[in-house]
Amino acid sequence: MDVSDPRIDPALVPNGSRAQVINGPNNEYHDLPAVVTRKGMVITRWTPTVEERARLATGEDIFVTLFSNGLINPMFVTAGPVDWTTC
C-alpha cells in the first residue's frame, strides 16, 4: 500500500486537529503524513495498489503489523473516512 496525503474534510475531525509528518526519533522511518487530534488520535490514509485491490476483491484479509514492544494501543481501521469527531 502507498501512504496517501491524509487531508480529511475538516468537519470530520475534532477542532484543534493538525497535519503532521511523523518520523522516528532518528529519521529511521519513511515520513508518515498524518492528522493528529487533540485527543491523541493519529489518522493516516493508505491507498491499496491495483494488485492489492484485486486481492481484497477476491476475499483476502488485511493484516496490520505493529512494532509496539508488546504495548498495543487501541486501533480503529475503516474503509473510507468516518466522523472522527464522535470518537
**pLDDT tens column, 34-86:** 999 998 889 999 899 999 999 999 999 998 887 777 777 788 888 888 999 98
Of 57, 66, 32, 36, give the one whose Cα is nearest residue 46.
32
**Cβ contact 63:55 at 8 Å:** no
Give this prediction's pTM: 0.77
Of 21, 30, 9, give the one whose Cα is nearest residue 80.
9
Position 3 scores a pLDDT of: 76
Q: Are strands 18-22 and 2-3 parallel, antiparallel or unpaired?
A: unpaired
Strands ordered across the beta sheet of 18-22: 18-22, 32-36, 42-43
Position 64 scores a pLDDT of: 85
Q: Are strands 42-43 and 32-36 parallel, antiparallel or unpaired?
A: antiparallel
